[in-house]
Every structure is written in C-alpha cells, then in structure tokens.
Amino acid sequence: EAGVAQSPRYKIIEKRQSVAFWCNPISGHATLYWYQQILGQGPKLLIQFQNNGVVDDSQLPKDRFSAERLKGVDSTLKIQPAKLEDSAVYLCASSLTQGETQYFGPGTRLLVL
Amino acid sequence: AQSVTQPDIHITVSEGASLELRCNYSYGATPYLFWYVQSPGQGLQLLLKYFSGDTLVQGIKGFEAEFKRSQSSFNLRKPSVHWSDAAEYFCAVGASNFGNEKLTFGTGTRLTIIP
C-alpha cells in the first residue's frame, strides 16, 4: 500500500514570495491533516479535512495560509506571502476517517530567506 | 486545553542498553496517548497508542509504554536499543470523542546511540 506522498520535498524562497505544497493521501482515506513543524518543536496542526470539507482550521494563519481539498483526495497548502517564521517542515497526514490512526508523509522542508 | 511535556531534549544511550523516554501530559478527561518516531528526513511513524484497557501497551520495533494516570505519564521503554533506533521521538495526546483528532505533540526527544 502506497503511503502519503508529498511534493516538493524541499523548497527555498525569499520572503514575500508565494509557495504551494501538494499532498496525496493514502487511497481511500477520508481525513487529511496539514501540520507545521518548526525546528526543535513538535508538529502543530494547521488544518483538518474530512473529505472535501474543513473540520478544523483554528490554528491556520488565514491571512497568509490557505488550503483546499476540492475533490476530497489531493490537497494543496499555500502560503502567500511567506515570512521568515514560516520556515518549517510541513507534514501531511491521512487517516481512514476521523478517529483512526494518522499516517504521515515525509514532509516538505521550507526555508524562507 | 491539552499539553504534552517531554522533559529530555536529548538522550544518549549505548547500544544494547535499556531506554526510557519520559512523557507527561495534561488533559482534563481520559487521554488518548501516542508515541511517534521520526527518522531524519522522514515523516512520523506510529510506534504505539493507548486508548483504554491494559495500561501497558506494546508497540512495533520492541517498544512498550505504560500509562500511569496518577502520574499523568506515558513513558516509552525498550529493553535493548539498536543503532537503528537513533531518531526523534514524539509523545502526543489526542482529544475529542474520536481520540485521534487534534493531536498535541510534545517537543520531542532526540535519541543518540553510541557503540
């Protein structure tokens, strides 16, 4: 069974630029999560989808971050404009449904200069 | 709101020695507890989880953890570590009726294995 796929694996941008990350969850998984992991910290949930609907985006900085999962499968996370403090690893996870074990992708490492 | 404390930022253990990683949580109701491992450049892999029942939980790769409600702890143990166990370990607490939602992670413990 293929795992959670993410791309790109690495991205370097300058502040005020925009960037987008892509996530393909495990086939059949209805729930998808985006986490931000700053160096030296544990992952922090940014947004959770159930199919194509948002369940929780309370910790998403909505002035600059956006995410969508239009067809209930793939998802994209966008930052516009990026700030230095957005430098982090962005992890995508999926689960069969809410309440099931979350499986994580390898992450996208973002460096904002 | 729930929180997790991992008091040890970095631990060094000799190969073959026993290991215990500490985790303390704060949550008002019955917690759902998890240990994840993250190898360099990799995502998080679930080692084990506690939802209810037996307080000693067995996981993958020979790891186990014990839930102690009186101490608000969920420490991870392994009787004999291997060089491949070198990684970052995260404890997490889950809240809500479903248990897996709104995971709150600790800051992690980096494990170094010396020959």
Task: Name the closest residue on chain A to residue B90, using Cα atoms.
Answer: A42
Which pLDDT tens digit goes with each residue over A11-27?
999 999 999 999 999 99
Read off the pLDDT of residues B55-113 as tens digits, 9 standing for 90 and up. 999 999 999 999 999 999 999 999 999 999 999 999 999 875 555 567 899 999 999 99
Burial pattern A66-99, b for ≥16 Cβ within 10 A else e, equals bbebeeebebebebeebeeebbbbbbbbbbeebb
CB contact under 8 A, B44 and A91: yes
Q: From chain A, pick out residues whose CB is under 8 angstroms from the CB of B90.
A: 42-43
Relative to beta strand B109-114, strand B10-14 is parallel
Query: Mutation test of the interface with chain B: which of A32, A102, A103, choosing the one with the most B Cβ atoms within 10 A?
Result: A102
| Cβ–Cβ gap B43/A104 under 8 Å | yes
**Band of the pLDDT at A67, cuts 50, 70, 90?**
very high
pLDDT, residue A70, reads: 84
Query: What is residue B101's predicted lDDT score, i.e. its pLDDT?
Result: 66
